[in-house]
Structure 1
Amino acid sequence: MSVEAAIKEKIASKKVVVYSKSSCPFCKKAKQVFQKYLNNRLLSREDYEVIEIENDPNCVAIQTYMMKKTGARTVPRVFVKGKFIGGGDQVVGKDSSGELKRLLQDKE
């Protein structure tokens, strides 16, 4: 399966997908926000996946596809219900404004 196909499949299969690097401070911020939603059960472990790409042999290909798909190669790249919602600062901002909670609760 191509990197592009694998990413599309993963994003479609989960409510929240975070493409991350474990040492990235912006990734840590985004993951902390989602941890709060896991803890209060607005998000289930089955619906949430973090994909740490720094040791993936396809890391460069993943970041190249993210540039095409989202306009940037940087991590985190965060998808909620199949839609790109931004990186670490955007996730924190959407959480602070209540938008992220609404996105997670919407039945769509």
Structure 2
Amino acid sequence: MPPVKMFTTAVCPYCIRAKQLLKARGVEQIEEIRIDTSPQQREHMMQITGRRTVPQIFIGETHVGGCDDLMALDARGGLVPLLGQSA
């Protein structure tokens, strides 16, 4: 399973929902990068994604997007195959 990385904040209901979905699909470890405690990480996230909101989710090298993007990917049947790719 490729590594899963998520830019988050402490009190983000969308981050919690995204983590729940990923865990339900078999993800055991999520690297969380807290942008509320690190302005440098916030800037980095905005540079690589072009977005300001959290969560911003990466599966391997693929930028999935936010929680709604993750839910839509799962609804289309694309999440499980993406998680099954080798890193």
Q: Unaligned regions of 5+ residues in structure 2, if any?
A: none
Residue 26 (structure 1) aligned to one of 10, 14, 22: 14
Residue 35 (structure 1) aligned to one of 11, 19, 23: 23
CA positional deviation for 1:104: 0.9
Q: Matched residues, percent identical?
A: 28
| Alpha-carbon distance between aligned partners in 2 of 1:82 and 1:99, rounded to the nearest angstrom | 15
Bigger strand fraction: 2
| Alpha-carbon distance between aligned partners in 2 of 1:52 and 1:69, rounded to the nearest angstrom | 14
Deviations 1:14-63 (A, max 9, x none): 6211121231111112111111023xxxx3x3xx324151563xx21111
**SS at 1:73's partner residue?**
coil
Match of 1:61 in 2: 40
Q: Unaligned regions of 5+ residues in structure 1, if any?
A: 1-13
Match of 1:17 in 2: 5
Aligned length: 86
Residue 90 (structure 1) aligned to one of 57, 69, 76: 69
The code of the aligned residue for 1:51 comes to E
- TM-score, length of structure 2 as denominator length: 0.83
- TM-score, length of structure 1 as denominator length: 0.69
CA RMSD in angstroms comes to 1.9
1:105 aligns with 2:73: no
